[in-house]
Each structure stands twice: as C-alpha cells, then as structure tokens.
Structure 1
C-alpha cells in the first residue's frame, strides 16, 4: 500500500472507495490542518511553476485558488474578504499588469 501522508481534497476518500480500494486516513486538528494547507500551497505553486502549457497552468491556479478559500477560512475570513483587500491594494498601489521591473531607486 503506497504511503501519501498529505492533505487531499474532501472527495478523494470517496473516489478511492468507489475504485474498490482501501485506505487509511485521519482528521487533522486545527494546527496540523494549517501546516498541511501551507505545505499543499507550496506543492501547488511548485506544480504551477513547472507547468509547460496554459491548460496545466490553469489547472494548478485552480488548485491554488481552492487552497486560498480554505486558508481564508482558517484566518476567519472569506475569499470575498481577500478579494476586497486585493482590490483595495490594487487601487492604492496598482496591480502587475504593466510588467514594471524596478531596477533601482536613487535618494
């Protein structure tokens, strides 16, 4: 039996069972859940960075967004709150669409 020891999406145990396979799982406490969410976020960001086509990149961005929903909840907020903060920051400081690369600042 392969060992995974990682956070998985909620329906994965159901899918494994439907495939006639057996599995072992547990429910994480809040501290471990937060740590595993962060590990999963790093994993998905790395997979995004390794994507070699737009479809793969979009798939990984969807996974990152799903993790952002969960992380917002852990911090007592919703993704709508995160989006509001993003919008406020964009209004004050802009986004990244103009591709500006700051090389130096002189006093």
Structure 2
C-alpha cells in the first residue's frame, strides 16, 4: 500500500472509498494543519511551475488559491481581506504587470 503522508482535499477519502480501496486518514491538530498546508503550497507551486499548458497552469493556480483561502481562514482572515491587502500593496508599490527586472542598485 503506497504511503502519502500529505494533506489532501476534503472529498478525497470519499473518492478513494468509492473505488473500493482501503485507506487510512487522521484529522490534524492546528499546528500540524498549518505545517502541512505550507508544504502543500510548495507542492502546488512546483506543479504550477511544471505546467506545460495554460489550462494546466490555471488548474494549479486554482489549487494555490484554495490553499491561500485555507491559510487566510486559519489566520482569522478571508480571501476578501487578502485581496484587499493585495490591492493596497499594489497601489503603494505596484504590481508585476510591467515585467520590470531589477539588475542592480548603486550604494
């Protein structure tokens, strides 16, 4: 039986059960939950970086957004508050739309 030891989406156990396979899960305590959410964010970011089509990229971005939403909730916030913070930061410092690559700054 393969061992995964990773955080999965809420409906994955039901999907596995529907295939007739045996599996084991546990509910994480908050400290472990945040640890594995962070690990999952790296996994999904790696998958986004490896995406070979726009469709794949969008799917992986959706996974990252799901993780960001869960992290925001864990920190007592919401995706709307994260978006408001993003907008405020963009107003003050800009976004990444102009594709500016900083090479060096003189001391």
Q: Same fold (TM over 0.5)?
A: yes
Partner of 1:28: 28
Equivalent runs, 1:18-97 vs 2, <5 Å = 18-97=18-97
Alpha-carbon distance in 2 for matches of 1:22, 1:73: 31
Partner of 2:106: 106
What displacement does 1:17 show? Answer: 0.8
Alpha-carbon distance in 1 for matches of 2:34, 2:58: 24
Query: How high is the TM-score relative to the length of structure 1?
Result: 0.96
What displacement does 1:105 show? Answer: 2.2
What displacement does 1:104 show? Answer: 1.9
Q: Show CA shifts across 1:43-85 (max 9, x none).
A: 0001111111111111110000000000001111001110000
- Aligned CA RMSD, in angstroms, stands at 0.9
Alpha-carbon distance in 1 for matches of 2:52, 2:20: 33
Alpha-carbon distance in 2 for matches of 1:88, 1:28: 34
Query: How high is the TM-score relative to the length of structure 2?
Result: 0.96
Please list every run of 5 or more consecutive structure 2 residues that lacks an aligned counterpart in the other structure: none
